[in-house]
Amino acid sequence: MNNSIALQKTLLKEVELNGVGLHTGKQVKLKFVPAPVNTGFVFVRTDVTPNVKIPADIQYVINTDRGTNLQKDNYKIQTSEHVLAALVGMGVDNCFIELDESESPIMDGSSKFFVEAIESAGVVEQNERRCEYVVTEIISYRDEETGSEITLIPSDTFQVTTMVDFQTKVLGTQNASLDNITDFKNEIAPARTFSFLHELEMLLENGLIKGGDLNNAIVYVDKPLSESNMERLKEAFGKEKISVSPNGILDNLSLHYSNEAARHKLLDVIGDLALVGVSIKGKVIAIKPGHKVNAEFSKKLSHIIKQERRHNVPKIDLNSEPLLDVNDIIKILPHRPPFLLVDKIFELSKTHVVGLKNVTMNEPFFAGHFPGAPVMPGVLQIEAMAQAGGVLLLNTVPDPENYLTFFMKMDNVKFKRPVKPGDTLIFKLELISPIRRGICHMRGSIFANGNLMTEGELMAQIIKRKD
User: What are φ and ψ of residue 211, in 5° steps?
Assistant: -100, 15
Domain boundary among 255, 282, 297: 255
Question: What confidence score (pLDDT) does residue 247 get?
Answer: 65
Residue 320 lies in a domain: no
Residue 316 lies in a domain: no
Domain boundary among 310, 336, 354: 310
CATH number at residue 401: 3.10.129.10
Q: Which DSSP state fits 364?
A: G
- 169 and 217, same structural domain? no
DSSP reduced 3-state for 108? coil
- 412 and 297, same structural domain? no
Within 101-141, residue ranges assigned H as helices are 112-121
**Beta-strand relationship, 194-196 and 218-220:** parallel
- 159 and 31, same structural domain? yes
- 138 and 52, same structural domain? yes
Question: What confidence score (pLDDT) does residue 202 get?
Answer: 62
- 222 and 89, same structural domain? no
DSSP reduced 3-state for 310? helix
Sequence length of the chain is 467
Residue 2 lies in a domain: no
DSSP reduced 3-state for 228? helix
Identify which of 8, 1, 2 has the alpha carbon closest to the alpha carbon of residue 433.
8
- 170 and 150, same structural domain? yes
Residue 315 lies in a domain: no
CATH number at residue 305: 3.30.230.20
User: What are φ and ψ of residue 90, in 5° steps?
Assistant: -95, 10
| Alpha-carbon span 173 to 156, nearest angstrom | 28
Question: What confidence score (pLDDT) does residue 2 get?
Answer: 45
Residue 321 lies in a domain: no
- 433 and 404, same structural domain? yes
- 218 and 161, same structural domain? no
Question: Known catalytic residues?
Answer: 291, 369
Burial 3-39 (b: 16+ CB within 10 A, else e): eebebbbbbeeebebebbbbbbeeebebbbbbbebeb
- 278 and 202, same structural domain? no
Assess contact for 443 and 382: CB atoms under 8 A: no
Residues forming a β-bridge with 430: 352, 443
Digitized pLDDT (tens) for each residue of the chain, 467 residues in all:
345 678 999 999 999 999 998 777 889 999 999 999 999 999 999 999 999 999 999 999 999 987 899 999 999 999 999 999 999 999 999 999 999 999 999 998 999 999 999 999 999 999 888 989 999 899 999 999 999 999 999 999 999 999 998 777 667 789 999 999 999 999 999 999 887 676 665 655 555 555 445 556 677 776 666 676 666 666 666 666 676 666 667 765 678 898 999 999 999 999 999 999 999 999 999 999 999 999 999 999 999 988 777 667 888 888 899 999 999 999 999 999 999 999 999 999 989 999 999 999 999 999 999 989 999 999 999 999 999 999 999 998 989 989 998 989 999 999 999 999 999 999 999 998 888 888 999 999 999 988 889 999 999 999 988 86
| Alpha-carbon span 76 to 82, nearest angstrom | 16
| Alpha-carbon span 173 to 234, nearest angstrom | 30
Assess contact for 11 and 34: CB atoms under 8 A: yes
Question: What confidence score (pLDDT) does residue 1 get?
Answer: 39
| Alpha-carbon span 300 to 390, nearest angstrom | 37
Residue 70 lies in a domain: yes
- 419 and 365, same structural domain? yes
Domain boundary among 209, 226, 255: 255
Number of domains into which the chain is organized: 3
- 276 and 245, same structural domain? no
Instruction: List Cα–Cα distances, 125 to 7, 35, 39, 122, 457, in angstroms.
Output: 6, 12, 14, 10, 20
- 333 and 303, same structural domain? no
The DSSP element (H or E) to which 332 belongs, if any, is: helix 326-332
Instruction: List Cα–Cα distances, 389 to 24, 87, 190, 340, 347, in angstroms.
Output: 54, 34, 46, 13, 12
Question: What confidence score (pLDDT) does residue 200 get?
Answer: 64
Question: What confidence score (pLDDT) does residue 82 get?
Answer: 97
Structural domain range at position 135: 7-192+256-310
Strands (E), 179-296: 194-196, 218-220, 279-281, 283-287
Residue 317 lies in a domain: no
Residue 318 lies in a domain: no
